Amino acid sequence: MRIYVTLSLLFFTMYSFSQKKLKALLKKENTNSIPYISVDSLKSETASFILLDSREPKEFKTSHIKNAICVGYDFFNVDSISGNLPNKDAKIIVYCSIGIRSEDIGEKLKKAGYTNVHNLYGGIFEWKNKGNPVYDSNEKETDNIHTFSKPWSKWLTKGNKIYD
């Protein structure tokens, strides 16, 4: 029992520390020009919304959140996806690995006239870290998460880290 309590306390401490470090990183890298939506809020969202994955196609193929549309990052072009986003007032939630690239894409959407754009706080890593499912290119549930690179993989605490 004592070991269980010690391990639980250690996990909680590491998770809290990791969250503080993530918050500091996002504060440093982002301008908060696109409001965040938390994983918990996304999970409980009842209104319709469009979910955009702003990671690269190889990341998306490894894993993505169900019903997400891959829009990429390096070659993102609002005009190429406008057919999927005809209503400029629709709720759009953009995510990436942890929330940095998705803010950039959110800003481009906002500049193009979209009015209800949100950035998933902590991205797909936070989604998976909180025990939520992700899906591969065949729409089968997977534990694999493309972590972009080895250094970025430190932000993923659950699942299999894939990078190349």
What integer is the mean pLDDT of 32-36?
Answer: 95
pLDDT tens sequence across 44-92: 988 899 999 999 999 999 999 999 999 999 999 999 888 888 899 999 9
H or E element: which one contains 120?
strand 117-120
pLDDT tens sequence across 107-152: 999 999 999 999 999 999 999 999 999 999 999 999 999 999 899 8
pLDDT score, position 18: 58
SS3 52: strand
Q: Is 10's pLDDT higher than 80?
A: no
Burial category of 54 from C-beta neighbours within 10 Å (exposed 0-12, middle 13-18, buried 19 and up): buried
